[in-house]
């Protein structure tokens, strides 16, 4: 398993290095090509090195635009997850990084867009300057050439044309402005804060990606940036003829050179993005087809602290522990799909989700269900890290707030496996940590823990599950109440045998205790919670893992939405 851990990290690094390497290669290769190739000798006479900066960044933009949709093809990822059984853990672990990679590619697109835009602003300024120049320089002579026909080099044909005019009236100018604005909107609206608090804003702006791709494909069609044509190169090679453009001789005793002729660079963005775009279209069609399949709502439970539980059935629906589904409620919005972790176990004859208020959409769903029974559409299930929980001898499950949902599924499934005497269960011990701000949040989940506590005690397995509940937000009245009933067998907050702890966990001592209890085991650490908690758990995993492969290792997994 030490090898597994290394392979996993090496595989992540290798994928990243390959992606970075291709970006560096494309940029360097095309920068040097446009900076040195003789077809662009005359283009460089006007534009200088800004030509190479614009073209090299364009290639990298095409490459990353090709990749951006792949990590969000959920059905493709599910298919890969299911088919890869030989290198199962390693590849499946990589698939959990899909959104991290998606964001990385998006930021790279933003960077190359900035480079490309700045380079073209320089280019437009130089085209304009050369058009207005009357100094007989090579750039000025080239700008006045073939203005009537289609063999021109400088796209600015008159002294009245301004940079703004080109930016807002030509196809490359207008599409460039539009797709840059779209990219800015998409990047700024996908910050953690907006996604968590204004999901609708994130959802709708992200669908501007259609405009981005349409704009990208038609951006280069007009071919404003040009090079010398192949026929013209054979007749009048710049090395031989460039000097005669600025100094015309009266008598033509030498080999007279005709004026060079220019043609556009063929648009090729469509070649890069066509295949992934078609794949994504297929993905969306598949989602729509799956969404049309009937969902029967078996039971609706309204828990305290405004948490809504929906128990549903759907023909052909098969789930694994810790998976999630996308839910749509047409009565509220036909377009919005929201992710929810499944809280049911695979052994149950229904699947369930718990919805808490976290924005406009969830609030409206909860309000609607209190008045009527609206139609629900479901897409999924999709797999994430928690499926691997039974692969470890010991597992540490950490849930923050509603982040407890994937572990509801896992704990229920373990309960069923015990009842059925399942021999395939590798897990010998589970440590469960739940961090919550308010006492109301504990109520819906404490029933499950209470029944588990009882069942495991009855089957003589009470030491299998150790759980610790941490109340991170509390006031004096709660503290006084707890102090008053401290000697009671059951906790005053949850009604469970295990007492609630006030404050945050001391991860250092928790990991030390687990390492001492399992000196030779591989311990899976699973989190569904905020990023800062992920960082501290990841740090603890590294600190407490032994370098000796025969001793304890902690292996970190995080839920990704």
Q: What is the CATH number of the domain that holds 425?
A: 3.40.50.80
**10 has pLDDT over 80:** no
Which tokens go with 429?
């011990």
Name 37's Cβ contacts closer than 8 Å, sequence gap at least 6.
Answer: 227
Quick one: average pLDDT of 417-423? 74
CA atoms within 13 A on the CB side of 550: 0
Structure confidence at residue 88 (pLDDT): 56
8 Å CB contact between 246 and 217 = no
pLDDT band at residue 409, thresholds of 50, 70 and 90? Answer: confident
Within-domain flag for 275: no
pLDDT band at residue 474, thresholds of 50, 70 and 90? Answer: low
50 and 66 inside one domain? yes
Residue 293 or residue 26, greater confidence: 26
Within-domain flag for 7: no
**496 has pLDDT over 60:** no
Name 388's Cβ contacts closer than 8 Å, sequence gap at least 6.
Answer: 89, 92, 524, 557
Structure confidence at residue 531 (pLDDT): 83
**91 has pLDDT over 90:** no
Quick one: average pLDDT of 182-198? 91
Instruction: Residue 341: give the domain boundaries.
Output: 295-383
* Nearest alpha carbon to residue 194 among 186, 335, 339: 186
Q: What is the CATH number of the domain that holds 335?
A: 2.40.30.10
365 and 321 inside one domain? yes
Q: Report in angstroms the alpha-carbon separations of 224 from 43, 88, 123, 124, 149.
A: 11, 49, 11, 10, 14
Of 221, 250, 285, which one is at a domain's C-terminal end? 221
Q: How far is CA 328 from the centre of its chain?
A: 21
Which tokens go with 227?
């090079």
Structure confidence at residue 486 (pLDDT): 47
Within-domain flag for 508: yes
Within-domain flag for 183: yes
8 Å CB contact between 413 and 464 = no
Q: Report in angstroms the alpha-carbon separations of 3 from 10, 116, 388, 391, 553.
A: 10, 43, 17, 15, 11
**170 has pLDDT over 80:** yes
**92 has pLDDT over 50:** yes
d(CA 391, CA 430): 12
Within-domain flag for 366: yes
Quick one: average pLDDT of 141-156? 87
* Nearest alpha carbon to residue 440 among 399, 493, 403, 395: 493
Structure confidence at residue 484 (pLDDT): 47
Structure confidence at residue 69 (pLDDT): 95
β-sheet with 522-528: strand ranges across: 501-502, 465-471, 429-436, 394-400, 522-528, 553-558
Q: Work out how many domains the chain is built from and give that number.
A: 4
Structure confidence at residue 120 (pLDDT): 95
Residue 388 or residue 387, greater confidence: 388
d(CA 110, CA 61): 9
Quick one: average pLDDT of 64-74? 94
344 and 375 inside one domain? yes
Structure confidence at residue 84 (pLDDT): 62
319 and 414 inside one domain? no
Residue 230 or residue 303, greater confidence: 230
Of 203, 221, 239, which one is at a domain's C-terminal end? 221
Q: What are all long-range contacts of 291-299, with beta carbons under 8 Å and residues at least 24 apart?
A: 291/328, 291/377, 291/378, 291/379, 292/377, 293/378, 295/375, 295/376, 295/377, 295/378, 297/373, 297/376, 298/350, 299/350
Other Cβ atoms less than 10 A from the Cβ of 489: the count is 5
Name 76's Cβ contacts closer than 8 Å, sequence gap at least 6.
Answer: 70, 279, 283
Structure confidence at residue 177 (pLDDT): 95
Quick one: average pLDDT of 325-330? 93
Structure confidence at residue 485 (pLDDT): 44
d(CA 65, CA 331): 34
Q: Write out pLDDT tens, residues 257-289.
A: 788 999 999 989 999 999 999 999 999 999 888
402 and 541 inside one domain? yes
d(CA 406, CA 323): 7
304 and 244 inside one domain? no
Which tokens go with 135?
């100094």
- Percentage of residues of the chain with pLDDT beyond 70: 87
**70 has pLDDT over 80:** yes
Within-domain flag for 28: yes
d(CA 439, CA 418): 30
Structure confidence at residue 226 (pLDDT): 93
Structure confidence at residue 228 (pLDDT): 93
Within-domain flag for 201: yes
pLDDT band at residue 469, thresholds of 50, 70 and 90? Answer: confident
pLDDT band at residue 205, thresholds of 50, 70 and 90? Answer: very high
The mean pLDDT value of the chain amounts to 85
pLDDT band at residue 303, thresholds of 50, 70 and 90? Answer: confident
Residue 560 or residue 151, greater confidence: 151
354 and 439 inside one domain? no
Residue 494 or residue 203, greater confidence: 203
Within-domain flag for 394: yes
- Percentage of residues of the chain with pLDDT beyond 90: 42
Structure confidence at residue 489 (pLDDT): 47
Of 347, 367, 383, which one is at a domain's C-terminal end? 383
208 and 233 inside one domain? no
Angle at 328 between CA 387 and CA 557, to 5 degrees: 20
113 and 251 inside one domain? yes
94 and 58 inside one domain? yes
**385 has pLDDT over 60:** no
**47 has pLDDT over 70:** yes
Angle at 358 between CA 289 and CA 94, to 5 degrees: 60
Quick one: average pLDDT of 372-396? 82
pLDDT band at residue 423, thresholds of 50, 70 and 90? Answer: confident
Angle at 458 between CA 456 and CA 459, to 5 degrees: 65
**247 has pLDDT over 70:** yes
111 and 212 inside one domain? no
400 and 534 inside one domain? yes
């Amino acid at each position: 398993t030490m090898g597994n851990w290394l392979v996993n990290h090496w595989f992540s690094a290798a994928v990243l290095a390959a992606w970075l390497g291709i970006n560096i290669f494309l940029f360097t290769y095309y920068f040097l090509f446009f900076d040195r190739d003789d077809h662009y000798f005359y283009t460089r006479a006007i534009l200088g090195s800004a030509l190479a900066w614009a073209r090299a960044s364009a290639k990298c933009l095409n490459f990353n635009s090709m990749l951006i949709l792949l990590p969000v093809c959920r059905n493709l990822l599910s298919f890969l997850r299911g088919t890869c059984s030989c290198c199962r853990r390693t590849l499946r672990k990589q698939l959990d990084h899909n959104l991290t990679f998606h964001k990385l590619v998006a930021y790279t697109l933003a960077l190359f867009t900035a480079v490309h835009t700045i380079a073209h602003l320089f280019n437009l300024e130089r085209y304009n300057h050369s058009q207005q120049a009357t100094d007989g320089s090579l750039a000025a002579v080239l700008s006045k050439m073939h203005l009537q026909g289609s063999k021109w080099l400088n796209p600015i044909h008159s002294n009245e044309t301004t940079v703004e005019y080109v930016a807002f009236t030509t196809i490359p100018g207008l599409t460039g402005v539009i797709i840059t604005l779209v990219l800015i909107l998409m990047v700024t609206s996908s910050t953690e804060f907006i996604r968590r608090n204004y999901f609708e804003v994130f959802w709708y702006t992200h669908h501007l990606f259609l405009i981005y791709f349409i704009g990208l494909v038609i951006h280069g069609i007009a071919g404003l940036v040009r090079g010398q044509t192949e026929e013209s190169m054979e007749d009048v090679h710049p090395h031989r003829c460039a000097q005669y453009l600025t100094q015309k001789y009266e008598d033509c005793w030498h080999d007279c050179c005709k004026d060079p002729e220019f043609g556009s660079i063929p648009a090729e963005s469509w070649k890069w993005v066509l295949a992934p775009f078609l794949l994504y279209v297929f993905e969306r069609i598949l989602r729509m087809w799956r969404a049309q399949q009937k969902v029967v709502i078996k039971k609706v439970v309204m828990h305290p602290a405004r948490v809504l539980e929906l128990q549903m059935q759907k023909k052909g629906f098969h789930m694994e522990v810790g998976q999630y589904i996308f839910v749509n409620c047409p009565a509220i919005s036909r377009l919005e799909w929201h992710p929810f972790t499944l809280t049911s176990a695979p052994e149950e004859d229904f699947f369930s989700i718990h919805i808490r208020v976290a924005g406009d959409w969830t609030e409206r769903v909860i309000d609607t269900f209190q008045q009527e029974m609206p139609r629900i559409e479901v897409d999924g299930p999709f797999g994430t890290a928690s499926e691997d929980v039974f692969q470890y001898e010991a597992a540490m499950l950490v849930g923050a707030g509603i982040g407890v949902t994937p572990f509801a599924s896992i704990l229920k499934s373990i309960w069923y496996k015990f009842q059925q005497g399942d021999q395939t269960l590798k897990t010998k011990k589970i440590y469960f940590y739940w961090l919550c701000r308010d006492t109301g949040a504990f109520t819906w989940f404490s029933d499950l823990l209470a029944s588990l506590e009882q069942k495991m005690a009855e089957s003589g397995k009470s030491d299998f599950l150790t759980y610790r509940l941490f109340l991170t937000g509390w006031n004096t009245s709660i503290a006084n109440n707890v102090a008053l009933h401290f000697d009671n067998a059951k906790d005053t907050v949850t009604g469970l045998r295990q007492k609630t702890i006030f404050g945050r966990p001391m991860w250092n001592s928790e990991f030390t205790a687990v390492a001492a209890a399992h000196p030779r085991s591989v311990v899976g650490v699973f989190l569904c919670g905020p990023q800062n908690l992920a960082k501290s758990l990841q740090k603890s995993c590294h600190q407490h893992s032994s370098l000796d492969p025969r001793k304890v290792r902690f292996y970190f997994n995080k839920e990704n939405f």
